[in-house]
Amino acid sequence: VSPRATIGRPEWVSTVGVGARHRPVRDAAAIRHHYDVGNEFYQLWLDARQVYSCAYFHHADVSLDAAQWAKLDLVCRKLRLLPGERLLDVGCGWGALIHHAVENYGVTAVGITLSPAQAVAARQRIRQAGMDDRCHVELLDYRDVGALGAFDKIASVGMVEHVGSAQLQAYFDALFRVLRPGGLLLNHGIVSLHGARPASAAARLRRRMWRSGAFIDRYIFPDGELVTLGESTMHAEAAGFEVRDVEGLRPHYTLTLRQWLARLDARRDEAIKLVGAERFRAWRLYLAGSAQAFDSGWLGVAQILASRSATDGGSALPLTRHDLYCQP
């Protein structure tokens, strides 16, 4: 998609060539529609590491850079990463998590993304940091992770939103197969809180925001689909995972989105030069509307920590969660 192209529902959505919703070819086209808008555009309003998922705020007034660092580190600590372990990051974006994990936890890491623009930028950063021998990025669909071998730990942060209800079982099955027995998966994603409740008239109206063909689907995330926390855990368990911890981070996404919006507004002129006024306004509306959706409790975001038990039932988790939240 050319950054200056008129925005709208991409033509391929209704063409036969890319197939039905969530077929691999169509998923790849949907991802390019959103992420290949241009690295420079995202650089304007994301944090310095370009993390494109909910941050973790120790206080509401913490900077976005610090809150994203805290989120990356929380993910690594929840996974109990150890030197020499092999980490897979599913939907690695611009590579911030693999970079953090290799630098601070001594793991080797592979990130996968469907966005060519992200892969190019992430590989360049890895080269510049001299980490080529310890991590790399593949342009690969999650359904093909079997080609990468086995992993001790798996992270998936802000990616499951692209999977869709119908493919959720295939997603958890694919991750389970490449996780070594005793290993851990940290799945961090937006969940539909409203979708879990019986629908009132008001709720039905608000559901249209994410409905197929509605604003977000049409202009921002073609084929994005939010599932409930219950659906996610159900499919994870059906794949063979044992759900060990669940943490809801909803207020953190409101804070993240407000910072993204303020930063985009502060770079308004540059953003319009890069992507045009129409797309700028669409992105503003998406960020502001999403902040409101999290703030009002319509959407949530949850981290699910799940283990694949070893044959003796063991896993990489300690008895308590003391290590996560108490500083020595």
Q: List interacting residues with ligand SAM (CB under 6 A).
A: 27, 31, 35, 51-53, 91-93, 96, 112-115, 118, 141-142, 157-159, 162
Compute the distance between CA of residue 73 and CA of residue 101 in angstroms, rounded to an integer. Answer: 8
Q: What angle do CA 176, 181, 183 make, to 5 degrees?
A: 75
- In angstroms, give the least distance from the CB of 2 to ligand SAM: 19
- In angstroms, give the least distance from the CB of 147 to ligand SAM: 13
| Closer by beta carbon to ligand SAM, 19 or else 181 | 19
When computed from its CA atoms, the radius of gyration of the chain, rounded to whole angstroms, is 19
Closest residue by Cα to residue 260 from 98, 8, 54, 40: 54
- In angstroms, give the least distance from the CB of 237 to ligand SAM: 22
| Closer by beta carbon to ligand SAM, 183 or else 189 | 189
Closest residue by Cα to residue 102 from 64, 175, 155, 172: 155
Instruction: Tell me if 307 sits within 8 A of 172, measured CB to CB.
Output: no
DSSP per-residue letters across 132-165: TTTEEEEE--GGGGGGG--EEEEEEES-GGGT-G
Compute the distance between CA of residue 316 and CA of residue 321 in angstroms, rounded to an integer. Answer: 12
| Closer by beta carbon to ligand SAM, 73 or else 242 | 73
- In angstroms, give the least distance from the CB of 200 to ligand SAM: 30
Question: Cα 239 to chain center, whole Å?
Answer: 20
- In angstroms, give the least distance from the CB of 51 to ligand SAM: 4
- In angstroms, give the least distance from the CB of 50 to ligand SAM: 7
Instruction: Tell me if 46 sits within 8 A of 260, measured CB to CB.
Output: yes
Query: CB within 8 A of 120, min separation 6: which ones?
Result: none
- In angstroms, give the least distance from the CB of 216 to ligand SAM: 13
| Closer by beta carbon to ligand SAM, 118 or else 290 | 118
Phi/psi at 205 (5° precision): -65, -45
